Amino acid sequence: MAGSDALVDAARAARAFARAPYSGFAVGAALECADGSIVSGCNIENATYGLTVCAERVALLKALSEGRDRFVRIAVVADTDRPTPPCGPCRQLLWEYCGDIEVVMANLARETGRHQLATLLPMPFDRSLLGPGR
């Protein structure tokens, strides 16, 4: 498996490609797959705001679209002193497709936090709530 430094480095590198002309809040994410490979993404904003896609979702959707379906952890990097966790929609998608993975938060210089996704999303909605056979 890739080390957490490589994962955070990949998220920092992805952040450089962020398209954040409205908020100015560039974010990079890197998702570590079970085979040790890393898929990264950055946030991409849109003038309507509602069509903006977070870095975590870009990384996840890229990985899924490339046939990857088992994940170990995700790193999220932003230029802030405080930990920057995934937003609610990102937490939901990460839970559904990744399960209780580790979430590593970092800024441009250091790691700022580390949590299991279940800690960040304590009562997730998932297929188990949809009833038998789903």
Cross-strand bridge partners of residue 116: 102
Residue 1: predicted pLDDT: 43
List the strands of the sheet with 111-116, edge to edge: 38-42, 27-33, 71-78, 102-106, 111-116
Residues shown for the chain: 134
Instruction: Output helix, strand, coil percentages for the chain, rounded to the nearest 5.
Output: 30, 25, 45
Phi/psi of residue 26, nearest 5 degrees: -80, 135
Residue 131: predicted pLDDT: 81
Residue type, 105: M
Q: Which of 32, 45, 56, 96 is catalytic?
A: 56
Residue 132: predicted pLDDT: 78
Enter the pTM of the model: 0.92
Q: What six digits make up the tokens of 116? A: 């299991």
The Cα 2–Cα 127 span in angstroms is: 30
Fold of 4-130: Cytidine Deaminase; domain 2 (3.40.140)
Give, for all 134 residues of the chain, the pLDDT tens digit.
Answer: 455 599 999 999 999 999 999 999 999 999 999 999 999 999 999 999 999 999 999 999 999 999 999 999 999 999 999 999 999 999 999 999 999 999 999 999 999 999 999 999 999 998 888 887 66
Residue 127: predicted pLDDT: 86
Q: State the helix-helix crossing angle for 4-15 and 55-65, rounded to 10 degrees.
A: 110
- The ranges assigned to domains in the chain are 4-130
Q: What six digits make up the tokens of 64? A: 């899924």
CA distances from 40 to 7, 12, 133 (A): 9, 9, 33
Residue type, 132: P
56 a catalytic residue = yes
